[in-house]
Amino acid sequence: MPEQRACLPPSFRLRAVAGLILLIWLVGPSLPAGASELRRTPVVRAVQIARPAVVNIRGEKTIVATTASARPEECSRRVNGMGTGVVIDPRGYILTNHHVVDGVRDIQVTLADGQSLSARLVAHDIKTDLAIIKVDSSEDLPLITIGTSSDLMPGETVIAVGNAYGYEHTVTRGIISALHRSVQVSDAQYYDDLIQTDASINPGNSGGPLLNIDGEMVGVNVAVRAGAQGIGFAIPIDEALRVAARILAACEENRAWHGLTVDADTASDGEGVAIAAVEPDSPAAAAELAPGDRITKVADLEIRRAVDFHRALLGRTAGDAVAIVAQRDGEEVTAEVTLAQLAKRSRTPGDAVWQVLGMRLQPVPAGEFQRRYQSRYRGGLAVTGVRGDSPAADQGIQAGDVLVGMHIWETVSLENVSYILNRPDFNSLAPVKFYILRKDQTLYGYLPLTTATATARR
């Protein structure tokens, strides 16, 4: 029987052509010559998504010998350092590890397109080994896609991108080996709650992204275990963003004051970040913003996380009027906050607390306290700000916590804290035990108070 040729109706052929055009559009970046779409695996796509926002960092620093046997010419020497960073703001703000830029006088950043720019250190946190640097570019820089580390699963595929041994944009693949690892990498550096992975992480990878299969950043590559093979570690991205938000908040306060404290926890529902506290007589209070409002937009920037709120305010100065959009009881409210000079704030007993402990505190109304916490404590003081490199920051106290006690005394009012700080035997109490409420948990710790810290209270 003669072979019959299938005849497709014109409408079907048109749909087939439209489908092919749609497929080509979804593929995204054009494939290299000779490459088939089958080779564009999920790992390849993830790297293509993230690569434009990954930068290489180089610099020269002076290393000082710490051994008594070192010869005079070995007491200090200059070495070349390298690392990686990720762009978190189109204006050129880059997240990396502190040890990558610590002591570097001339930080050089190479963008994915090969452009080399000088950078400056904006803020850092020694305890978590995180830092934010800034480059000045004539064009907006591409941003890393941020994911979450809250739902990571041992065994899932992850990808590391970085400047390994100076080889720029090195890509390695592996799995999540474990979560919540504590690692002591040196006498001076201890990391808590890290992601363990067998994706190769080498010197130079520090500060680079650990990606999931969707190309989202879920960790900051930070350490490799000396002498071990296939064991690397990364800071969970949720924790990294909380730290970034805190150190950026400290940068804001040095330039202008708004009086807002936002919830440091990462928002995952796309509905903005909640206001944890509003300082009395502040620009935010004058704009009638209130605790519980969820900020969804600052100026032209959509707000999903606390770090978005703080980077939206970077570079602004006293006198700037900032439009803020928030959700309140299901309705949208718009406020205009005019930033003020920090020096014009009225001095309060809380300023001594800021100097000595590194916290800004605000009384929680008794009715609100019992309604929110249903606690055996009579009341407490909301933490509205934490200064970097302070006793409070070292102990992990966060904005949004509520201080309910120090040593054997309750802290319902600022006068209670002043009483403790001004006691004649204050120095002998160190380290001072403290108690805080964080959501539905009661936590405690010890505030180490050095001689210099104690002197600041006088």
Q: What is the pLDDT of residues 132-165, one digit of tens each?
A: 999 999 999 999 999 999 999 999 999 999 998 8
50-135: which CATH architecture? Answer: Beta Barrel (2.40)
Please check whether the two domains, 157-239 and 350-455, share a CATH topology. no
> Residue 419 in contact with residue 457, Cβ under 8 Å?
no
The pLDDT of residue 277 = 85
Query: How sure is the predictor about 334, in pLDDT bands with cuts at 50, 70 and 90?
Result: very high
Which pLDDT score, from 0 to 100, does residue 328 have?
93
Give the CB-side neighbour count of residue 329, counting CA atoms within 13 A: 2
Query: What pLDDT, on the 0 to 100 scale, is given for residue 347?
Result: 55
* pLDDT one-digit tens code per residue, 399-419: 889 999 998 899 998 888 888
CA–CA gap between residue 261 and residue 276 (Å, rounded):
5
Higher pLDDT, 80 or 333: 333
> How many helices (H) and strands (E) would you count in the chain?
12, 24
- CA dist 190 and 32 (Å) reads 44
Give the residue-averaged pLDDT of 435-454: 74
Is 129 part of the annotated catalytic residue set? yes
> What pLDDT, on the 0 to 100 scale, is given for residue 25?
43
Q: Which of 89, 125, 129, 238 is catalytic?
A: 129
Tokens describing residue 456: 């600041």
User: The domain 256-343 belongs to what CATH superfamily?
Assistant: PDZ domain (2.30.42.10)
d(CA 392, CA 33): 57
Give residue 62's pLDDT: 55
**In this structure, how many other beta carbons lie within 10 angstroms of the beta carbon of residue 343?**
7
pLDDT at 68: 45
Per CATH, the number for 350-455 is 2.30.42.10
Is a pLDDT exceeding 90 seen at residue 420?
Answer: no
Distance between CA 111 and CA 117 in Å, rounded? Answer: 8
Q: Kindly tell me if the per-residue pLDDT of 234 is higher than 70.
A: yes
Q: Kindly give the pairing relationship between strand 402-406 and strand 381-386.
A: antiparallel
Using pLDDT thresholds of 50, 70 and 90, give the confidence band for residue 227. Answer: low
- Interatomic CA distance for residues 219 and 206, integer angstroms: 11
Is pLDDT at 249 greater than 70 in this prediction?
yes
Predicted local confidence at residue 61, as pLDDT:
66
Confidence of residue 266 (pLDDT cuts 50, 70, 90): low
pTM, to two decimals = 0.69
Catalytic residue among 99, 124, 258, 310: 99
Residue 448 identity: P
Residues of the chain above pLDDT 90, percent: 42
pLDDT at 6: 46
Residue 380: what pLDDT? Answer: 92
Q: Where residue 267 falls among pLDDT bands split at 50, 70, 90?
A: low
Beta bridge partners of 297: 302, 325
Select which of 149, 177, 206, 282 is catalytic.
206
Q: Per-residue pLDDT for 192 more than 70?
A: yes
pLDDT one-digit tens code per residue, 97-127? 999 998 888 899 999 999 999 999 988 888 8
When pLDDT is averaged across residues 212-238 and rounded to a whole number, the result is 87
For residue 428, the model assigns a pLDDT of 72
CA–CA dist 292, 23 (Å, integer):
44
- Res. 320: pLDDT tops 80: yes
Q: Which of 271-275, 409-413, 422-426 has the lowest mean pLDDT?
A: 422-426
Residue 259 has pLDDT above 50, yes or no: yes
Domain 157-239 top-level CATH class = mainly beta
Contacts (Cβ under 8 Å, ≥6 apart) of 296: 271, 272, 302, 303, 325, 326, 327, 332
Going by pLDDT thresholds of 50, 70 and 90, the confidence category of residue 457 is very low
Q: What is the DSSP letter of 146?
A: B
Percent of the chain with pLDDT over 70: 79
pLDDT of residue 17: 46
pLDDT score recorded for residue 66: 44
Per-chain mean pLDDT for the chain = 82
Is 99 noted as a catalytic residue in this protein?
A: yes
For the chain, the structural domain boundaries read 50-135, 157-239, 256-343, 350-455
| Residue 47 pLDDT greater than 90, yes or no | yes
Residue of 418, 403, 428, 449 whose CA lies nearest to 353: 418
375-385: average pLDDT: 87
Is 428 or 157 the better-scoring residue by pLDDT?
157
pLDDT at res. 241: 93
Confidence bin at 424 (pLDDT 50/70/90):
confident
Backbone angles phi, psi at 44, to 5 degrees: -60, -45
Query: In the predicted model, is pLDDT for residue 63 greater than 70?
Result: no
